[in-house]
Amino acid sequence: MSAAASQPDLLHEVAIELGDRSYPIVIGTGLLGDASAWAQVPRAAAAMVVTNDKVAPLYLERLVAALQGRFPQIHHVVLPDGEEHKDWQTLNRIFDALLSQGCDRKTVLFALGGGVVGDMTGFAAACYMRGVPFVQVPTTLLAQVDSSVGGKTAINHPLGKNMIGAFHQPVRVVCDLDTLATLPPREFSAGLAEVIKYGPIADMAFLDWIEANLAALLRREPEAVAYAVRRSCEIKGWVVGQDEREGGLRAILNFGHTFGHAIEAGLGYGEWLHGEAVGCGMVMAADLSRRLGLVDEAFTHRLTELVREAGLPVRGPRLGVDRYFELMRLDKKAEAGDIRFVVIESPGHAGVRPAPEAVVREVLQHCTA
């Protein structure tokens, strides 16, 4: 990076180690418009920047300008914003753009936006001509700390979230912290849910740090945000490096997601933000862990308060207990109809297991309102 464009104290690089699919996550300020941030992206005749109608007016021009020197042709496609558009129709707009521009199978896709743009661009890259390279350029906290890392890509199906997708690793992730300045508070809080997640499943010292720095994070102080992004990426990279395709360990990253996905699908995609549903889902999954005798009341109380103070809901919507079960049975971790939950086995350690239906019913009754 050029010295002028970045503040060295905020510049970090986290390596994701996956053999010949390894890649770096670059975290810093001023990266979007810095040509040197893109100097290691594979060369090709064309780049295709995929973004949405919220992000495009803010950052598209800056990114395209920085890519000029590297790609003879730079195309873009602007999708409608929102989880409710994470479907085949919208995905197909990426394919339409690629084919109508005559993009070949070396074309590099750039996902400029949040989790929805990243998931859809990644899936388009996985499928276009059976696979082209792509770069994640996450502009939301949630995408920077979670969804842009690890190669999970997908679209939703009316019967379930992320049901159609692929494992397809990006060739690079570039997290420009400056983009977080424009995030609405609700979206910033949603991102904090995934930051908080890494504490109970993997690193209680990080949970301590988040508690101690929550006010600084909510004020978006650069040093605090930079550390939160970096540490989140380190933990995620450590998990994904051991279990890329979720044969086992990786499922712990879904802490809070079994309940959370049910909330999202039950209310209709886009009603709650994904991070809001996950925040509430973690409270529910912690309550389940307590009822299973794995953690104590003090632990669940602590996590609940942190989620609440991060600006996230701690009580689920009253969808009805049976409806929750119906939705959770569609979870990808379910096997032969048995729902499997990510629980906290002990603070800092998570596991995946089924749970007695009666206990889950208690959780749903206790944690919804």
Residue set of the binding site = 81-86, 115-119, 139-140, 152, 161, 179-182, 194, 257, 274
Q: Do residues 229 and 27 touch, judged by C-beta distance below 8 A?
A: yes
Edge-to-edge strands, sheet with 134-138:
12-16, 23-28, 172-176, 134-138, 108-113, 46-52, 73-79
Q: Which of 50, 55, 116, 154 binds its own copies (CB under 8 A)?
A: 154
Work out whether 88 is an interface residue with its own copies (CB under 8 A): yes
Q: Do residues 287 and 300 touch, judged by C-beta distance below 8 A?
A: yes
Work out whether 219 is an interface residue with its own copies (CB under 8 A): no
Least Å distance, CB 98 to its own copies, is 8
Q: Which of 92, 182, 346, 365 binds its own copies (CB under 8 A)?
A: 92
Q: Which of 24, 33, 82, 160 binds its own copies (CB under 8 A)?
A: 160
Q: Which helix (H) or strand (E) holds 48?
A: strand 46-52
Work out whether 247 is an interface residue with its own copies (CB under 8 A): no
Nearer to its own copies, 217 or 328 (CB): 328
Select which of 12, 54, 187, 194 is catalytic.
194
Q: Assess whether 219 carries a catalytic annotation.
A: no
Work out whether 257 is an interface residue with its own copies (CB under 8 A): no
Q: How far apart are CA 201 and CA 197, in angstroms?
A: 7
* Site pattern 17..46 for its own copies (x: CB under 8 A): ----------------------------x-
Work out whether 74 is an interface residue with its own copies (CB under 8 A): no
* DSSP-derived pairing of the beta strands 134-138 and 172-176: parallel
Q: Assess whether 250 carries a catalytic annotation.
A: yes
* DSSP-derived pairing of the beta strands 172-176 and 23-28: parallel
Q: Which helix (H) or strand (E) holds 12?
A: strand 12-16
Paired tokens of 217: 């994070």
Q: Assess whether 345 carries a catalytic annotation.
A: no
Give the count of residues interacting with its own copies (CB under 8 A): 37
Q: How far apart are CA 157 and CA 330, in angstroms?
A: 11
Work out whether 97 is an interface residue with its own copies (CB under 8 A): no
Q: Supply the DSSP symbol for 135.
A: E
Q: Assess whether 75 carries a catalytic annotation.
A: no
Q: Which of 95, 209, 238, 325 binds its own copies (CB under 8 A)?
A: 95
Select which of 152, 172, 290, 302 is catalytic.
152
* Site pattern 333..362 for its own copies (x: CB under 8 A): -xxxx-------------------------
What phi, psi does 113 have (nearest 5°)?
Answer: 160, -155
The residues facing 73 across adjacent strands are 46
Work out whether 133 is an interface residue with its own copies (CB under 8 A): no
> How many other C-beta atoms lie within 10 A of the C-beta of residue 301?
12
For 69, half-sphere exposure in the C-beta direction (CA atoms, 13 angstrom radius) is 11
Nearer to its own copies, 4 or 336 (CB): 336
Q: The tokens 């208690």 sit on which residue?
A: 362
Q: How far apart are CA 258 and CA 282, in angstroms?
A: 9
Q: Assess whether 194 carries a catalytic annotation.
A: yes
Q: Which residues of the shown chain bind its own copies in the complex (CB under 8 A)?
A: 45, 88, 92, 95-96, 99-100, 102, 104-106, 126-131, 152-154, 157, 159-160, 163-167, 245-246, 329-330, 332, 334-337
Which of the residues are catalytic?
A: 130, 152, 194, 236, 246, 250, 254, 257, 261, 274
